[in-house]
Structure 1
Amino acid sequence: MISVLLVDDHPVVREGIRGMLGTETDLAVVGEAASGPEAVALVAALSPDVVLMDLRMPGGDGVAATERITAEYPGVHVLVLTTYDTDSDILRAVEAGATGYLLKDTPRAALADAIRAAARGETVLTGRVAGKLLTGMRQRAEPPAVALSPRETEVLRLAADGLTNAAIGRALHISQTTVKTHLMRVYEKLGVGDRTAAVSQAIRRGLLPEA
């Protein structure tokens, strides 16, 4: 028998989920919580196998509760069940230690199967949620490596110092057209459209030490 703790600030939602799971002979709802802190307290008291966790609750954030539960009770698996599917919500929940992430429109049979999988320690993500998770991770990731040539670095360094194309050309003994060409290549490599953004990106990526 898999024991389940329901966490949602809406009583009608908890009642609906309890009713959905009531037909499953191997699943048993052992408790209900209306906030994150209450969920943590009930996990300590009941030691459920799986916690069905809502994310946004006025009495306490579900992500914070998930982080505490997974850190303090490693045998308990948290399965997020929410109406929110933004990249940031999904990423925060997974980073907090959630075993899976489901939306409240998940069919009864799929929810039951997800609880069983979570109890086994398996990751539970729908295709849409998995895609959003990957998107969020890419956005959080460091920018791809970029290499500027020595001349491009020289040109950008002088541009950062406020020199015009003409002044850069005189300093490096090259034409204004060549200066512009170097800058355009830098913009393309850094994915920007002007000098200010190029300098900022180059510094952030460690390509141009701050003066």
Structure 2
Amino acid sequence: MTTTIPVGDTGVADDRAVDRTAGTVGIMLVDDHAIVRQGLRSILEREPDLRVLAEASTAAEALVVVGRVRPDIVLLDLKLSTSSDTEGLELCADLVATHPGLGVLVLTTFLDDQLVLRAIRVGAKGYVVKDVDTSGLIRAIRDVSRGGSAFDARSAAAMVRGLNAPEVTDVRRLTEREREVLRLLARGHSNKGIGERLFISETTAKFHVGNILRKLGVSRRAEAVYEASKLGVI
């Protein structure tokens, strides 16, 4: 059986169709560099069981396109603009919250112990650096598509180091979106109210609140606001 998935000339969904054969792994590429996306597409589509369905260069574009093409895997860079090196973390959280069955695999140049942990904690199923060889990347995609997790050797080592590091409350671990949510929490807004003001779903707002509580080492919303005020976040 064959289904059709809309993909445009730029990789952004439009009204034209591309065949997607049942049993193939549908992939969406999210990277701000067109040449990187083109190279990845060329590599991945040599594999008979992998199909690139769409591309996006920004977080906003990715959120729209993923809802239309319904990929199995999103191959996601963390740096999607010049203003932030970790915008992809916020996008990952939003994608996972709104599409629970989606497998997000981080593919980035950045490797940091806590960064790998943060990616996993916001919902990524794997983390590989861009110097991974072709076979390693393809293996990682297939592992995630089967419901597993995937790390290259360096990312796996970084995750172990991060897990063994002493737990500290570090406000720098809060993403900009989480800080926005925290400020609205301080004003007494519910998850629904937060979602309406930030133009995100109530489910996504709840997801961000949960991450905030965990990162600040507290169990209640009021405690998060108190802790954040002590640390000067709000």
Q: What's the TM-score bracket when you normalise by the shorter of the two chains?
A: 0.5 to 0.7
- Alignment of structure 1 residues 21-40 onto 2, 5 Å: 21-40=44-63
The equivalent of 1:42 in structure 2 is 65
Considering only CA atoms, is the larger Rg found in Structure 1 or Structure 2?
1
The equivalent of 2:39 in structure 1 is 16
Seen in structure 2, the aligned counterparts of structure 1 residues 136 and 21 have a Cα distance that, compared at 3 Å, is same
| Deviation, structure 1 residue 22 | 1.6
**Is structure 2 residue 153 aligned with structure 1 residue 127?**
yes
Q: Is the 8 A contact 2:25 2:72 kept in 1?
A: yes
TM-score computed with the length of structure 1 as normaliser: 0.64
Structure-1 separation of matches of 2:167 and 2:108: 25
Match for 1:80: what amino acid?
V
Structure-2 separation of matches of 1:120 and 1:129: 20
| Deviation, structure 1 residue 127 | 2.4
Structure-1 separation of matches of 2:162 and 2:61: 29
Q: Is the 8 A contact 1:51 1:79 kept in 2?
A: yes
The equivalent of 2:113 in structure 1 is 87
- Alignment of structure 1 residues 187-198 onto 2, 5 Å: none
TM-score computed with the length of structure 2 as normaliser: 0.58
Q: Is the 8 A contact 2:132 2:152 kept in 1?
A: no
Which structure carries more helix by proportion? 1
The equivalent of 1:164 in structure 2 is none
Structure-1 separation of matches of 2:125 and 2:49: 20
Query: 3-state SS of the aligned residue for 1:57?
Result: coil
Q: Which stretches of structure 1, 4 residues or longer, exceed 2 Å deviation after superposition?
A: 137-142
The equivalent of 1:193 in structure 2 is none
| Deviation, structure 1 residue 140 | 4.8
The equivalent of 1:77 in structure 2 is 103
Structure-2 separation of matches of 1:140 and 1:4: 36
| Deviation, structure 1 residue 53 | 0.2
| Deviation, structure 1 residue 122 | 0.5
Percentage of pairs with the same residue = 38
Q: Is the 8 A contact 2:73 2:141 kept in 1?
A: yes
The equivalent of 1:103 in structure 2 is 129
Correspondent of 2:139 among 68, 88, 113: 113
Seen in structure 2, the aligned counterparts of structure 1 residues 121 and 140 have a Cα distance that, compared at 3 Å, is farther
Can you give the 5+ residue segments of structure 2 that lack an aligned partner in the other structure?
1-23, 169-234
Aligned residues: 143
